[in-house]
Homo-oligomer: A and B are copies of this chain.
């Protein structure tokens, strides 16, 4: 059994490892278009901040026993009838690889916005190892004093932190009304305050139109009178799926042009699987497919595809959109649906924000957690949660209690039935997760009572 995998990042390598684990006799080959096998893209901001001095350490894995890794092998065409993939390689020229099963794990690439001057020196996307080397070289050589970051998503905010860490003055320009549109605006405002506290200039509601060379610096111009001089611009406005190879092989696409699969990661071609950022994602709460490119999802989809490619019968359990980011000293985590996301679906979201200490106040070092719980007004079902607080307050794994609850379709009320761990330096007899859930229930009860009263008057 020959399993050929196009792409050697999270999805591709997870699939390769799982396939070998399930069927040690499988011949697994991974084609990489660059030289970087399963590097952590999420780690690039820390490499560029200087916190991770050696980029080699960004490799998620360095052992690929039993897997044939072909670096610098760019797949150019899939021949579905012949079960072969055409490959272009600088080292060995054009060649062809046979497959019994093929996995497309080509990932995603940065969206190029309609901004004039994107090609100027000093203007960079940031998605690949190669991008990061270019940025790193520029930082070392030019030593920019000011940077503009276009976009206020995860990577943009992490880079604002990273460049500030290097002593660079940072301005963020974002189209969105606040930063970090993946959480409720109330949280976005708190994140913005943290950025500003660290002297990052935040300009929201700004559409960047053009970047001009002006002597030894760059001049960035946007809507609402936005103008900023700087020596460096980072464009971080999201990603789009690398689905071209699949499309030319006749595979169908859906949301944002991502390749379609079923929950077994199979395509309409019985020999081809798709996993990771080039394909759609089954959303566990929405019970439908969407586009939600994340490294964690790519790992899980890859593992599912790898198992099924060698004869397994596993279904991808779906995504909840669970994410966490650390910006300076603040950690912000989310899972499930935001209030507005739930509203756009067939839910009737009810959201309550609580602030509770991460552990008993009598033990030194307690810090407040702000927790937003979104549940359905009618059914009481938990729909999503967001947690924000200081780094070190077990925010990420606390959020995961909500994520595990969502996985099992728990009601908000049922969270108080969980037997969670407590010691005064680390929690309270009711964990903050449960206190927030109880606050949600109390607010719901009050709101329902008021609704009934209003109806009777």
Q: Which residues of A contact B (CB under 8 A)?
A: 10, 21, 40, 42-43, 46-47, 51-52, 54, 57-58, 60, 284, 295-300, 303, 317-326, 331, 333, 335, 360-364, 391-392, 394, 396-401, 403-405, 407-408, 416-431, 442
Contacts and interface: CB of A to CB of B under 8 A. Distances in A.
Given A418-B407, A421-B403, A394 B397 contact: yes
Nearest to A409: B408
A42 B362 CA distance: 11
B362 A10 contact: no
Contacts of A408: 404, 408
Nearest to A319: B419
Contact of A394 (B298, B303, B394): B394
A404 B423 contact: no
A429 B396 contact: no
A430 B295 CA distance: 10
Contact of A429 (B60, B318, B419): B60
A419 B322 contact: yes
B51 A296 contact: no
A335 B421 contact: yes
A21 B442 contact: yes
Number of copies: 2
Given A297-B419, A318-B419, A421-B323, A40 B360 contact: yes
Contact of A391 (B40, B57, B425): B425
B296 A416 contact: no
A426 B10 contact: no
14 contacts: A21-B442, A300-B417, A300-B419, A317-B418, A317-B419, A322-B420, A322-B421, A397-B420, A397-B421, A400-B400, A400-B420, A401-B404, A403-B421, A404-B408
A326 B420 contact: no
Contact of A362 (B57, B419, B428): B57
Nearest to A334: B421
A296 B40 contact: no
Given A397-B394, A425-B391, A420 B296 contact: yes
B326 A426 contact: yes
A58 to B, nearest CB: 6
Contacts of A363: 43, 46, 51-52
B424 A42 contact: yes
A416 B399 CA distance: 17
B400 A421 contact: yes
Contacts of A296: 419-422, 429-430
Question: Which of A40, A324, A423, A431 counts the most B-chain CB atoms under 10 A from its CB?
Answer: A423
A422 to B, nearest CB: 5
B399 A295 contact: no
Query: What 10 pairs between A and B have smallest CB-CB spacing?
Result: A317-B417, A397-B397, A324-B421, A57-B362, A404-B404, A320-B419, A396-B426, A394-B397, A52-B362, A322-B419
